[in-house]
Amino acid sequence: MLQEIAEQPAALAQTITEERGKIAQLGKFLQGRGIDLIVLVARGSSDNAALFGRYLIEITTGIPVSLSAPSVHTIYGAKLKLQNALVIGVSQSGEGEDINRVLEHSRAAGAYTVGVTNEAASSMSGLVDETLLMHGGRERSVAATKTYTGQMMLFYMLAASLADQKPAFDYEAIPDLAARSLEQQPAILELVQRYVFMENCVVVGRGLAYANAYELALKLMETCYVVAERFSSADFFHGPLAMVERHFPVIVFAPPGAMLSGVRDLMRRLSELHADTLAITGDLEVAGSCTRAVILPREIDEFLAPIPYIIPGQLFAALLAEAKGLNPDSPRSLSKVTRTL
Amino acid sequence: MLQEIAEQPAALAQTITEERGKIAQLGKFLQGRGIDLIVLVARGSSDNAALFGRYLIEITTGIPVSLSAPSVHTIYGAKLKLQNALVIGVSQSGEGEDINRVLEHSRAAGAYTVGVTNEAASSMSGLVDETLLMHGGRERSVAATKTYTGQMMLFYMLAASLADQKPAFDYEAIPDLAARSLEQQPAILELVQRYVFMENCVVVGRGLAYANAYELALKLMETCYVVAERFSSADFFHGPLAMVERHFPVIVFAPPGAMLSGVRDLMRRLSELHADTLAITGDLEVAGSCTRAVILPREIDEFLAPIPYIIPGQLFAALLAEAKGLNPDSPRSLSKVTRTL
């Protein structure tokens, strides 16, 4: 897992190089075809990448995006009206049966289908209209890291290709920013000792950082066996805040940008409740108001932040698992390809 | 909270009587107008009701449904292409600022807008094209119960009115089924003693029962301060299963229907892991394979189950809070109307 975390800057750069031309063409084709709705279909970490894609695509293109409920197709056999839709399956292995079934149904219903996968020769690639590939080699750890950020990168490229106007981000900068995040490894190795006996926690992020809250919580559940909740800061105020008592651990993604003032409000409220807060942030006010912080370069704004910000989270999960005497590469009860319908 | 739980059968019956005519007309109007996409906008328990609505509407009508990410509108200022969309805001008070902002933006973008609320004179009612009301009086407990099931009932009625064919359910039966669930109160009063020291748990449901997993988890977080995760059984296998160790508490919604065989598989896996399972079920095989069960009438199939099945969950949360010496009506750190953007 640590090795695959470290491979990310190179893998991301290669994905940009290899897929740039294909995605630019696909964007032109889809703009000509006219797309009213984009549906994303995924499970696990891929579903978290899709959650990021949802925000990025809606903000960048104005096209409404829906995260599919696979069972509507696979268990209830509903036939959705998807004639003008783009349906994108996201699966590291390309072998998720439920994802592939939704893609088949959607194509039969007239949708244009795209697969986002790490495996060019997968079942998914065989059944979609177009395949977008992550480049950076097979992922061997059960806990996904480089495929999560690879999927995010493909969503940056796709969103840019579907936008009417120049987007608010330049994704070419991301591999270098990812490399800078890796420099945090020694600091995080020390930091995790403090969390060895943490049994549960909440991870908070909002907007473009929301998916990272889901992804870090999933990493903590699967590699560290911590009961980790995930919320947007807005949803957190609608009920779950009541759980927070003195020393309750809350991990917050707080990149500079439009979301920051809301995150600062949350940090003040958590401080009043004497929560134990860990922020991943480039904002010095947030860093100064929390119990512990991982401080990233201030110039990484929230549009470029999702990938550089999840890397300290991945390192935190992998190093905490090791500090607890667990093997993050093969969590108990799990296998790399999960078969569900 | 207990009083409002008990009011539900009468409140549901009244909502059917009062709103039936209006919703039938609305359905005809919308079928004539042509709706390509339905977007649901909500927070907290209302968002859980919307999650139920999403499954029910897609299965019943074939129209794709998206659960809105309000910050896309309120923080990032995106202008979504919603000309052929129906956008439904769901808010008990009708005063959620972010929900109302999304409704305003959507209406300006050409969408037809509907408000689902408990307050006829709310800000929401003033700005939408049509308001659907729950009938059953103001909700005084901070923890929503009768408004959650009232919102679900309005989704049943709306889905039926938008369907091309006769739907797979007769919602008129639900108030009586809800009354039968209330008969479980003495059994649940005894049951909760066993859970007084439970610090965390996972709640599982899938498909039409998925929203109830979110809602019961939220009730446990806000009234009992239990760190309660919520998953579909499919997502649970993608990572979070690793958390489960001997005696880890898992609460499962298992109504008879298309989802049941998958739930039985999950129960077998949890049994191998020696988890401590509590099922709310009408299936005797599931009831026989779990640590504890709340057994509901076998004839309640999954299409009618969501309301009668959440009631034992509501009772469980309210009675567990009391057994822990907490006041479920006014959880610490929360207020009835939550203001977020």
Q: Do A158 and A200 belong to one domain? A: no
Considering the domain architecture, whether residues B164 and B196 belong to the same structural domain is answered as no
Same domain, A150 and A198: no
Domain match, B132 and B235 both: no
Instruction: Decide the pairing of beta strands A276-281 and A292-295.
Output: parallel
Answer yes or no: is A237 within a domain. yes
Residue to test with chain A: of B221, B222, B247, B314, most A Cβ within 10 A:
B221
**Least CB-CB distance to B98: which of A200, A222, A234?**
A234
Q: What is the DSSP letter of A120?
A: T
Mean per-residue pLDDT, B313-337: 90
Last residue of a domain, one of B125, B143, B168: B168
Is B74 an 8 Å CB contact of chain A?
Answer: no
**% of chain B with per-residue pLDDT over 90:** 90
**A189 and A290 assigned to the same domain:** yes
pLDDT at B114: 98
- Strand B249-254 versus strand B227-231 pairing type: unpaired
Same domain, A268 and A249: yes
Give contacts of A71 with chain B, Cβ < 8 Å: 55, 206-207, 232, 234, 259
How far B78 CA sits from the closest chain A CA (Å)? Answer: 5
On the question of pLDDT at B334 being above 90, the answer is: no
Does residue B332 form part of some domain?
no
Residue B272 contacts A, CB cutoff 8 Å: no
- The answer, yes or no, to whether residue B337 has pLDDT greater than 80, is no
B87 and B42, same structural domain? yes
Look up residue B138 and give its amino acid. Answer: R
The answer to whether A215 contacts chain B (CB < 8 Å) is: no
Residue B340 belongs to a domain = no
A70 and A30 inside one domain: yes
pLDDT at A233: 85
Q: Chain A window 80-109: which residues touch B at a Cβ cutoff of 8 Å?
A: 80-82, 84-85, 98
CB A84 within 8 A of CB A108: no
Q: Is B65 on the interface with A (CB under 8 A)?
A: yes
CB contact under 8 A, B76 and A85: no
Helix (H), strand (E) at residue A261: helix A260-272
Question: Are residues A84 and A198 part of one domain?
Answer: no
pLDDT at A79: 94
User: Among B39, B46, B54, B66, which would you mutate to test the A interface (most chain A Cβ atoms within 10 Å of its Cβ)?
Assistant: B66
Domain residues for the domain of B292 are 175-323
- Dihedral angle computed from the Cα positions of residues A232, A237, A239 and A240, in that order, rounded to the nearest 10 degrees: 50
Residue B110 lies in a domain: yes
Question: Do A235 and A282 fall into the same domain?
Answer: yes
Contact A262 B223 (CB under 8 A): no
Residue B211, φ and ψ in degrees, nearest 5: -60, -35
Residue B331 lies in a domain: no
Do B6 and B82 belong to one domain? yes
Give residue-wise pLDDT tens across range A163-178.
999 998 999 999 999 9
The token pair that represents A1 in the structure block: 């897992």
Q: Which of the residues in chain A have pLDDT under 70?
A: 338-341
End-of-domain residue from the set B114, B147, B168: B168
Tokens of B266: 């999950």
Helix, coil or strand: residue A134: coil
> With contacts defined as CB-CB under 8 Å, which chain A residues touch B202?
227
- Among the three residues A113, A139, A168, which one is the final residue of a domain in this structure? A168
- CATH number of the structural domain spanning residue A127: 3.40.50.10490
pLDDT at B69 over 80: yes
Of A59, A235, A273, the CB nearest to B76: A59
Helix (H, G, I), strand (E, B) or coil at A105: helix
pTM here is 0.96
- Residue A136 is predicted with a pLDDT of 86
> In this predicted model, which residue has the larger pLDDT, B97 or A234?
B97
Interchain CB contact of A338 with B (< 8 Å): yes
Overall number of domains in chain B: 2
ipTM metric: 0.95
Cβ-count burial of B292 within 10 angstroms (0-12 exposed, 13-18 middle, 19+ buried)? Answer: middle
DSSP, collapsed to helix, strand or coil, labels residue A152 as: helix
Residue A240: per-residue pLDDT: 87
3-state secondary structure chain B: CHHHHHCHHHHHHHHHHHHHHHHHHHHHHHHHHCCCEEEEEECHHHHHHHHHHHHHHHHHHCCCEEECCHHHHHCCCCCCCCCCEEEEEEECCCCCHHHHHHHHHHHHCCCEEEEEECCCCCHHHHHCCEEEECCCCCCCCCCCCHHHHHHHHHHHHHHHHHCCCCCCCCHHHHHHHHHHHHCCHHHHHHHHHHHCCCCEEEEECCHHHHHHHHHHHHHHHHHHCCEEEEECHHHHHCCHHHHCCCCCEEEEEECCCCCHHHHHHHHHHHHHCCCEEEEEECCHHHHHHCCEEEECCCCCCCCCCHHHHHHHHHHHHHHHHHHCCCCCCCCCCCCCCCCCC
* A234 lies in some domain: yes
Confidence of residue B2 (pLDDT cuts 50, 70, 90): very high
* B225-270 pLDDT per residue, tens: 999 999 998 888 878 888 888 899 999 999 999 999 999 999 999 9
Query: Do A149 and A236 reside in the same domain of the chain?
Result: no
pLDDT surpassing 90 at residue B331: no
The single-letter DSSP state of residue A102 is H
